[in-house]
Amino acid sequence: MSRAIKHRSLLLSVLTFITVILAVHFIWGWNTLLSFWKAIPTQHILAFTLLYWFSYLVRSYRISTYFQSSTIRLPTKIVLPLVIKQTFWANLLPAKAGEISFPILMKRAFATPYSHSVPALLVLRLFDAYVLASIAVALICYTQFSYLTWIWLTLAIFIPLSGTFLRKHFIWLTYRYRKYKKARFVWQILTNIPSTYGKLLKISALSWLNWGVKILLFAALLASMTPFTLDQTTFGALFGEVSGMLPSLPGGFGSYEAAVSFGLMSNGADSDIITKAELVAAAVNSHFFILFNSIFGAIIVFMLPARSTTLEKNYDN
């Protein structure tokens, strides 16, 4: 990354941080939002922050594992700044435009061609969508048939292994029709699915660990700000994370709060216990926890020397 781009990125992250602070002051007021945090013990806030940054490490290790081969090694400590930057851009730009930053950052940091990184991003996002959908099914089972929950979760972890078997057959089929653009695109995605059961299981396990930690974290955070129990706030945390996978306004403002509030109300949030204003305020606080960690992480990374966040690698096209 050139020095000019690095300085612009740092300036943008600082300006975003200041903008968020001013927005809170003029729209909600810091006293209103901070009153929620004052009720949470400091050690709990520290634990929430550490869990959030642990999810960064898990995602970084997942990317390292995904791209690792006999000729390519991407150290997790080098991938970590990339994940922090990509999360920052994903949170900042509207309509999931920030996702485009992943292949660009991979190109700059590791000289990864777009023909590798773009299909890789789609494969990893498919894993994310699958895990979130599986967790949603597990939560629904838990409310109706609790004994089926663990059976479903055990099966769900191993279901992606079928991808290795199906991959071979679909690769051959799409290759036959490679003269068509759509077939070529599907072929590129299929060839980027891990070809071994061990690697696929490892990526699947890391995906489950990442989302399990994040949903537990935000469920606990919401439970700390509301009179609800952890099992009641889990739906709110899940809906909030699902909203992050969908196109939205810059920063996810509005959609995240609506998703969290809907998740809480759909799981029996009683208006006699908490008002709608307090419910939305808790969702806003949860959202700001994400944004502040994202912006703070970006500021740190953009201040690092360029050579500490890049590693030149040769890829065969």
Helix (H), strand (E) at residue 123: helix 114-144
More confident residue, 110 or 143: 110
> How far, in Å, are 52, 128, 199, 296 from residue 65 at the CA level?
20, 16, 8, 26
Dump pLDDT digits (tens) for 117-157. 888 898 899 999 999 999 999 988 887 777 788 888 888 98
pLDDT confidence band for 317 (50 / 70 / 90): very low
More confident residue, 16 or 160: 160
> How far, in Å, are 224, 278, 299 from residue 24 at the CA level?
20, 15, 20
User: In the structure encoding, which two tokens stand for residue 43, read together?
Assistant: 């050690």
Dump pLDDT digits (tens) for 295-314. 889 888 888 766 544 554 54
pLDDT confidence band for 82 (50 / 70 / 90): very high
Helix (H), strand (E) at residue 8: helix 3-23
Listed residue (205, 228, 208, 206) closest to 286, CA to CA: 228
CA dihedral 152, 158, 161, 165 (to 10 degrees): -60
How far apart CA 162 and CA 164 sit, in angstroms, is 5
Q: Which of 95-99, 180-184, 245-249, 287-291 has the highest mean pLDDT?
A: 287-291
How far apart CA 278 and CA 270 sit, in angstroms, is 12
H runs (alpha helix) in 70-113: 76-92, 101-110
Q: Which of 42-51, 75-84, 87-96 has the highest mean pLDDT?
A: 42-51
3-state DSSP call for residue 75?
coil
pTM assigned to the model: 0.83
C-beta separation of 203 from 65 below 8 A: yes
pLDDT score of 272 more than 80: no
C-alpha neighbours within 13 Å on the C-beta side of residue 123: 29
Output the pLDDT for position 238: 94
pLDDT confidence band for 182 (50 / 70 / 90): confident
Contacts of 174 (CB under 8 A, 6+ apart): 183, 184, 186, 187, 190
Q: Which of 49-63, 231-245, 299-313 has the highest mean pLDDT?
A: 49-63
C-beta separation of 264 from 222 below 8 A: yes
Locus of tokens 């992480």: 297
pLDDT confidence band for 202 (50 / 70 / 90): very high
C-alpha neighbours within 13 Å on the C-beta side of residue 208: 17
